Amino acid sequence: MANRDLFDLTGRNALVTGGGRGLGKAMATGLAQYGANIAIFDIDMETAQATAEELKALGVKALAMEGDVRREEDAQRAVNETVEALGSLDILLNNAGIATLGPAETLPVDDYQYVFDVDVKGVFLFSKAAFGPMSRQGRGNIISIASMAGISAPNPQKHTHYNAAKAAVIMMTKSLASEWAGHGIRVNALAPGYMITPPVIKMRAEDPEMWQQWMSRVPMGRAGEPPELQGAVIYLASDASSYMTGNIMVIDGGYTCW
Ligand SMILES: NC(=O)c1ccc[n+]([C@@H]2O[C@H](COP(=O)([O-])OP(=O)(O)OC[C@H]3O[C@@H](n4cnc5c(N)ncnc54)[C@H](O)[C@@H]3O)[C@@H](O)[C@H]2O)c1
């Protein structure tokens, strides 16, 4: 029997939004370790370039692009440049996202708008732009980063607008999966729990008491390390998950179990 590696991504080309640091960087690294070439798109060009250099050292092609996921022209340009530089767009990882804290009754509407623009509109614009090359190829793979906060409202922190934005990412995933299955495009999402990335490290330092409360509600008793998402993203991006679409993979140390 042929020894086929279902997880092999050699020769596949991926575009990762917000891939300069945090979860995006860790997942881009996982994809590259399995052979994928990577285009990093980030609003922070310095981190995007540094990450692209690290990925090249793994033996794949990598490039960095600067832009804002909230702008349709940036999404179109990023997709075009990826196809031009790498030859195709096989995997889109919609990772860029932000969270702000604040009680709903006093939240400035600008905060609400900012979070929805980055976390929801950004995913929509990049998915829309990716549809062109992916539908012409007759295959493509879109993975969006939602959150456990789109499934159940974490407590005691207040960010109703963020929870609602991530719930929107979950429904967008299911809707696009249904709309685009006939074009050979699979669309899935990851819903991480608390993960150790720069914004979470900042919150832990600012409010250690809240951090203790958070951890006491995670059955595994700890936050996740960014590389702990690599297995899931490689699975979703590869032929190992060829019959999976519209799925939300929850990786939260058990937070949403109870
Ligand atoms: N860290 C967690 O605990 C956690 C949990 C669940 C979901 N998430 C989600 O994971 C994703 C990554 O989060 P992270 O914790 O790694 O955050 P992070 O702040 O470390 O990384 C986010 C990256 O996105 C980039 N970015 C921000 N706004 C952008 C924009 N408008 N256009 C382009 N790039 C932009 C940033 O420059 C940064 O490189 C987000 O969607 C977040 O909501 C994180």
Q: Is the bond into 156 cis (omega within 30 degrees of 0)? A: yes
Cβ atoms of residues 69 and 95 within 8 Å: no
Cβ atoms of residues 162 and 220 within 8 Å: no
Placement of tokens 């709309």 in the chain: 179
State the distance from the centre of ligand 1 to the C-alpha of 4, rounded, in angstroms: 34
Question: Alpha-carbon torsion 175, 180, 184, 187, what sign?
Answer: negative
Query: What's the per-residue H, E or C state across 25-85?
Result: HHHHHHHHHCCCEEEEEECCHHHHHHHHHHHHCCCCCEEEEECCCCCHHHHHHHHHHHHHH
- Ligand 1 atom 41 nearest Cα: 97
User: Is residue 197's pLDDT more than 90?
Assistant: yes
Which of 15, 43, 51 has most ligand 1 atoms within 8 Å of its beta carbon, as the pocket-test mutant? 43
- Ligand 1 atom 17 nearest Cα: 22
Coil vs helix vs strand at 140: strand
Q: Which residues pair with 191 in a beta bridge?
A: 250
State the distance from the centre of ligand 1 to the C-alpha of 59, rounded, in angstroms: 26
Ramachandran bin of 35, using left for φ above 0, alpha for ψ from -120 to 50, beta for the remaining angles: left
Q: Which residues pair with 13 in a beta bridge?
A: 37
Instruction: Give domain status of residue 63, yes or no.
Output: yes
The total of structural domains in the chain comes to 1
Instruction: Give domain status of residue 182, yes or no.
Output: yes
Instruction: Give domain status of residue 217, yes or no.
Output: no
pLDDT-above-70 percentage for the chain? 99
Residues with CB under 6 A from ligand 1: 17-18, 20-24, 42-44, 47, 68-70, 95-99, 118, 145, 147, 192, 194-195, 197-200
- Work out the angle at residue 140's Cα, subtended by the Cα atoms of residues 135 and 141, and round it to the nearest 5 degrees: 140
pLDDT at 1: 52
Instruction: Give domain status of residue 91, yes or no.
Output: yes
Range(s) of the domain holding residue 235 = 13-195+226-250
User: Is residue 48's pLDDT more than 60?
Assistant: yes
pLDDT at 41: 99
pLDDT at 2: 59
Q: How far is CA 150 from CA 17, 161, 169, 172, 252, in A?
A: 20, 10, 8, 12, 12
The 10s digit of each residue's pLDDT in 237-249 is 999 999 999 999 9
Question: Alpha-carbon torsion 198, 203, 208, 211, what sign?
Answer: negative
User: Is residue 253's pLDDT more than 70?
Assistant: yes
| R_g (Cα) of the chain, nearest Å | 18
User: For residue 131, what is the domain's CATH number?
Assistant: 3.40.50.720
pLDDT at 3: 61
Which of 98, 126, 151, 249 has most ligand 1 atoms within 8 Å of its beta carbon, as the pocket-test mutant? 98
Instruction: Give domain status of residue 256, yes or no.
Output: no
The 10s digit of each residue's pLDDT in 85-130 is 999 999 999 999 999 999 999 999 999 999 999 999 999 999 999 9
Instruction: Give domain status of residue 255, yes or no.
Output: no
Instruction: Give domain status of residue 3, yes or no.
Output: no
Instruction: Give domain status of residue 98, yes or no.
Output: yes
- Ligand 1 atom 18 nearest Cα: 22
Which residue pairs from 167-176 have beta carbons closer than 8 angstroms and sit at least 24 positions apart in sequence? 168/116, 168/119, 168/120, 169/94, 169/119, 169/120, 169/123, 169/144, 169/145, 170/146, 170/248, 172/120, 172/123, 172/124, 172/127, 172/144, 173/144, 173/146, 173/246, 173/248, 174/246, 174/248, 176/127, 176/142
Closest to 194 measured CA to CA, from 219, 177, 170: 219
Active site residues: 162
Which of 23, 92, 152, 210 has most ligand 1 atoms within 8 Å of its beta carbon, as the pocket-test mutant? 23
pLDDT at 4: 76
Mean pLDDT, the chain, as a whole number? 97
